[in-house]
């Protein structure tokens, strides 16, 4: 091997070896650097101890501090639950720049210093805690700042799938900006987070019901995302019981299970038909048969819904086509009627009922040729695709 390295007396074994990291297998950079130095000493008939610098010109002997960095990591991860980990490093600009120039000078056959530091600290931590390194999907990533000597812990978020029922009106699905009243998100998230000890959490729902609409039956699918959790091995059947006990009569959860991040996307695009129970007040009394016959004319039909008036500031103005799969008069008591409706995902049921001043056509109000008042609306079931 013919290596003419002008800097041989200026670099430590790690940095020397790292310049040629692609040469030879089964060697650490330190071993590789030492070998190069030995060969050089033999080639030039020199005493090897004369070939070592007091301080490495590239890294300032940063590799002497590996155990110290491992100490910093061990301290930082105290209180975090995890099975796999990965170390990353943030290094001083000067070192990174010197490293880049040196690697280039010797033909970019090496490995950059951040990689080696991360791996060496990882090995030292592994020896002490016995947990595995994962490159693809670690539970926690620890970034060591080698310049200012501290570590940042970045745990992978937790994702929990479930279905919720909303048993009381006036509860929004997610947090209000101005914080009036507790949301489904907070009912579920506060309890969950008291176990996972995350920094924050989000509830991703498969659609949402209005604040004054109940969500009954088998519940609405959701994914709860917990950011930067300290704990991750929580028994979900225990958690489910705990949520249902502390939110009793307001919000209930079922089917909790751990899922991967991609479930959030799936749930957002989930298009499901829903079964609604609508209670209305008629302006004029009608008999049961007449009312039922007129409602039945909507069954199987496509209705055209222009963006509702109440949503006009939040959504673009356009016309949506939705199919009413089934409509059934359940009860009639004077001017009060209960109607069960099964319709496409995203149907505006209140507008289907009152017509929204002609923005939804046809509507129940139009079919009955009279004004109607909505007394109550509930989602009684979300139909899975197989239903």
Nearer to Zn ion, 12 or 278 (CB): 12
Does 15 sit near Zn ion (CB under 5 A)?
A: yes
The three-state DSSP-derived secondary structure of the chain is CCCCCCCCCCCCHHHHHHCCCCCCCCCCHHHHHHHHHHHHHHHCCCCHHHHCCCCCCCCCCHHHHHHHHHHHHHHHCCCCCCCEEEEEEECCHHHHHHHHHHHHHCCCCCCCHHHHHHHHHHHHHHHHHCCEECCCCCCEEEEEECCCCEEEEEECCEEEEEEEEECCCCCCCCCCCCCCCCCHHHHHHHHHHHHHCCCEEEEEECCCCCCCCEEEEEEEEEEEEEECCCCCCCCHHHHHHHHHHHCCCCEEEEEEEEECCHHHHHHHCCCCCEEEEEEEEECCCCCHHHHHHHHHCCCCCEEEEECCHHHCCCCCCCEEEEEEEEEEEEEEECCEEEEEEEECCCCCHHHHHHCHHHCEECCHHHHHCCCEEEEEEEEEEECCCCC
Count of residues near Zn ion by CB under 5 A? 5
CA distance 221 to 208: 10
Candidates 8, 12, 247, 256; binder of Zn ion (CB under 5 A) is 12
Nearer to Zn ion, 62 or 263 (CB): 62
Q: Tell the smallest beta-carbon distance from residue 72 to Zn ion (Å).
A: 20
Q: Which residues pair with 381 in a beta bridge?
A: 275
Does 102 sit near Zn ion (CB under 5 A)?
A: no
Q: Tell the smallest beta-carbon distance from residue 85 to Zn ion (Å).
A: 25
Nearer to Zn ion, 59 or 267 (CB): 59
Nearer to Zn ion, 144 or 341 (CB): 144
Does 224 sit near Zn ion (CB under 5 A)?
A: no
Q: Tell the smallest beta-carbon distance from residue 29 to Zn ion (Å).
A: 10
Nearer to Zn ion, 56 or 214 (CB): 56
Q: Tell the smallest beta-carbon distance from residue 62 to Zn ion (Å).
A: 7
Q: Tell the smallest beta-carbon distance from residue 15 to Zn ion (Å).
A: 3
Does 56 sit near Zn ion (CB under 5 A)?
A: yes
Nearer to Zn ion, 62 or 278 (CB): 62
Among the residue ranges 9-17, 117-125, 190-198, 205-213, the one whose residues contact Zn ion (CB under 5 A):
9-17
Q: Tell the smallest beta-carbon distance from residue 117 to Zn ion (Å).
A: 10
Among the residue ranges 51-59, 127-135, 227-235, 290-298, the one whose residues contact Zn ion (CB under 5 A):
51-59
Among the residue ranges 57-65, 154-162, 163-171, 194-202, the one whose residues contact Zn ion (CB under 5 A):
57-65
Among the residue ranges 7-15, 92-100, 227-235, 362-370, the one whose residues contact Zn ion (CB under 5 A):
7-15
Q: Tell the smallest beta-carbon distance from residue 66 to Zn ion (Å).
A: 12
Pick from 19, 20, 16: nearest CA to 41: 16
Cβ burial, residue 260 (10 Å; 0-12/13-18/19+): exposed
Nearer to Zn ion, 123 or 323 (CB): 123
Does 59 sit near Zn ion (CB under 5 A)?
A: yes
Does 117 sit near Zn ion (CB under 5 A)?
A: no
Q: Which of residues 153-182 bind Zn ion (CB under 5 A)?
A: none
Among the residue ranges 11-19, 275-283, 319-327, 341-349, the one whose residues contact Zn ion (CB under 5 A):
11-19
Active site residue ranges:
210
CA distance 268 to 33: 54
Candidates 8, 19, 21, 58; binder of Zn ion (CB under 5 A) is 58
Q: Which residues bind Zn ion (CB under 5 A)?
A: 12, 15, 56, 58-59
């Amino acid at each position: 091997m013919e290596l003419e390295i002008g800097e041989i007396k200026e670099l430590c074994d790690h940095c020397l070896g790292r310049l040629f990291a692609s040469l030879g297998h089964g060697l650490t950079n330190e071993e590789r650097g030492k070998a190069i130095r030995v060969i050089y000493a033999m080639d030039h008939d020199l005493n090897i101890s004369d070939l070592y610098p007091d301080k490495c010109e590239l890294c300032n002997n940063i590799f002497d501090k590996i155990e110290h960095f491992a100490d910093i990591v061990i301290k930082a991860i105290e209180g975090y639950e995890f099975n796999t980990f990965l170390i990353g490093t943030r290094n001083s600009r000067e070192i990174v720049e010197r490293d880049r120039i040196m690697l280039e000078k010797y033909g970019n056959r090496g490995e950059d210093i951040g990689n080696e530091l991360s791996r060496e600290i990882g090995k030292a931590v592994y020896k002490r805690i016995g947990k595995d390194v994962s490159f693809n999907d670690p539970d926690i990533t620890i970034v060591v700042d080698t310049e200012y000597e501290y570590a940042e812990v970045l745990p992978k978020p937790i994702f929990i799938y479930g279905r919720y029922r909303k048993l009381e009106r006036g509860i929004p699905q997610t947090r209000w900006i101005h914080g009036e009243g507790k949301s489904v998100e907070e009912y579920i998230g506060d309890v969950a987070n008291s176990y996972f000890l995350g920094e924050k959490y989000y509830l991703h729902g498969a659609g949402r019901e209005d604040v004054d609409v109940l969500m009954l039956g088998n519940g609405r699918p959701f994914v709860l995302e917990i950011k930067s959790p300290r704990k991750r091995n929580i028994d979900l059947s225990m958690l489910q019981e705990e949520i249902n006990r502390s939110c009793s009569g307001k919000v209930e959860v079922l089917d909790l299970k751990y899922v991967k991040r991609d479930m959030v996307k799936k749930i957002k695009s989930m298009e499901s038909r829903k079964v609604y129970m609508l209670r209305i007040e008629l302006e004029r009394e009608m008999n049961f048969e007449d009312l039922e016959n007129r409602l039945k004319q909507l069954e199987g039909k496509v209705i055209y819904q222009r963006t509702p008036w109440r949503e006009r500031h939040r959504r673009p103005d356009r016309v949506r086509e939705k199919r009413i799969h089934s409509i059934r008069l359940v009860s009639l008591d004077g001017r009060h009627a209960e109607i069960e409706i099964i319709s496409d995902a995203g149907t505006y049921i209140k507008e289907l009922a009152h017509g929204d001043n002609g923005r939804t056509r046809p509507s129940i109000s139009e079919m009955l040729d009279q004004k109607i008042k909505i007394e109550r609306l509930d989602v009684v079931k979300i139909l899975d695709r197989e239903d």
